[in-house]
Amino acid sequence: MNVQFDFSGRHVMVFGGTTGINLGIAQCYARAGARVTVASRKQANVDAAVATLGAAALGVVADVRDEQTVAAALTQAVERHGPIDVLVSGAAGNFLAPADQMSSNAFKVVLDIDLLGSFHVARHAVQHLHPGASSLIFITAPQSVVPMAYQAHVCAAKAGVDQLTRVLALEWGARGVRVNAISPGPIAGTEGMRRLAPQGEQGDALVRQMVPLGRMGTTDDIGQLALFLGSDAASYISGTVIACDGGAQGQLSPMIAAAADGVLKKT
């Protein structure tokens, strides 16, 4: 059952909003009546996403690691749809690697996308957020609080995203900007699950065993939480990191270890 939210007349922009969880969030907002802008670095993904979001949707190309392209994308979005009511920053990168076999550049790539990219989006968006009442939502991960083998880069980057969430909530609250983060658990059909979980029925069964609610999540599960955080119903919620994971956040290490075992045996 979906709770119904009405975002008619509101502008929602989703960075990384062309695939996976972030596309699911954009689709939820589009169904709720929002004017949606999505941004990511590949034109083909942008075009495919816009085709699912309706004629009013705008797609722009931007790499969150490049703050000039982020600034240009925001300007283009505001020129088309007006000030931004809800901004979702969800671009992310990940791969499995032992820390002692990870190059400095590989570590840096994930920090640049996840953490520096989140800062770029927030820093350049704040001037475009609807004055007096707007919502900034980061997409973080359980690695931000749970140490996981083969995930040193992501653990470091997402811990930074969590703290960025809390700091911006302190600094920007007086402007009427609420800042929160969503921490998804295992979400079916996403690139994250293809990279970080064993594949096939045996892998699916392992994941379900680790989730107290007994199932993987859906992109709509995350989208519904994003709708709530962007709505007036969450008008007094800021500076929080909210898990949407079926209760599993502290129990995912075996999933990643099993996936890494399969990957590392092939290399």
The domain made up of 11-265 has a fold known as Rossmann fold (3.40.50)
| Closest among 57, 35, 33, 56 to 46, alpha carbons compared | 57
Arithmetic mean of pLDDT over the chain: 93
3-state secondary structure 85-150: CEEEECCCCCCCCCHHHCCHHHHHHHHHHHHHHHHHHHHHHHHHECCCCEEEEEECCHHHCCCCCC
Q: What is the pLDDT of residues 208-266, one digit of tens each?
A: 888 999 999 999 999 999 999 999 999 999 999 999 999 987 777 777 777 777 655 55
| Closest among 30, 35, 41 to 18, alpha carbons compared | 41
pLDDT of residue 264: 54
Where do the DSSP E strands lie in the chain? 11-15, 35-40, 58-61, 86-89, 134-139, 177-184, 241-244
pLDDT of residue 26: 98
Residue corresponding to tokens 């995930």: 151
DSSP category for residue 4 = P
Q: What is the pLDDT of residues 94-129, one digit of tens each?
A: 999 999 999 999 999 999 999 999 999 999 999 999
Q: What is the pLDDT of residues 154-170, one digit of tens each?
A: 999 999 999 999 999 99
131 and 175 Cβ atoms separated by less than 8 Å: yes
**In one letter, which amino acid is 42?**
K
pTM (2 d.p.): 0.94
**What band does 267 get if pLDDT is binned at 50, 70 and 90?**
low
Q: What is the pLDDT of residues 190-223, one digit of tens each?
A: 888 788 777 888 778 888 888 999 999 999 999 9
Among left, alpha and beta (phi > 0; psi -120 to 50; other), residue 20 is left
pLDDT of residue 265: 57
Domain definitions of the chain by residue range: 11-265
